[in-house]
Amino acid sequence: MSLSDKVVIVTGASSGIGVAIAQVMAREGAHLSLVGRNVTNLEATRALLQKQNKAIQALTVVADVTKDTDVIIQQTLKQFGRIDVLVNNAGILSTGSLIDLDINEFDTVLNTNLRAIVLLTKATVPHLLKTKGNVVNVSSCAGICHFAGALTYGISKAALDQFTKIVSLELAPQGVRVNSVNPGFVVTNIHSRIGIVDEEYKKVHERAVNSHPLGRVGDVFEVAEAVAFLASSKASFTTGALLPVDGGKHNFTPR
Dmax over Cα atoms in the chain, in whole Å?
55
Taking the complex as a whole, the smallest distance from the CB of residue 18 to ligand NDP amounts, in Å, to: 5
Residue by residue, what is the 3-state secondary structure of 191-240? CHHHCCCHHHHHHHHHHHHHHCCCCCCECHHHHHHHHHHHHCHHHCCCCC
Nearer to ligand NDP, 3 or 141 (CB): 141
Residues 157, 159, 165, 169, Cα dihedral to 10°: -150
Taking the complex as a whole, the smallest distance from the CB of residue 172 to ligand NDP amounts, in Å, to: 24
Nearer to ligand NDP, 17 or 58 (CB): 17
Taking the complex as a whole, the smallest distance from the CB of residue 165 to ligand NDP amounts, in Å, to: 17
User: Which residues 6+ apart lie within 8 Å of 179 measured at CB?
Assistant: 134, 135, 136, 137, 164, 168, 230, 235, 238, 239, 240, 241, 242, 243
Contact between 240 and 165 under an 8 Å Cβ cutoff? The reply is yes
Distance CA 120, CA 67 (A): 10
Binding residues for ligand NDP, per CB under 6 A?
11-12, 14-18, 36-38, 41, 64-66, 89-92, 112, 138, 140, 183, 185-186, 188-190, 193
Taking the complex as a whole, the smallest distance from the CB of residue 93 to ligand NDP amounts, in Å, to: 6
Residues with catalytic annotation? 153
Please count the other Cβ atoms lying within 10 Å of the Cβ belonging to residue 122.
Answer: 11
Taking the complex as a whole, the smallest distance from the CB of residue 16 to ligand NDP amounts, in Å, to: 2
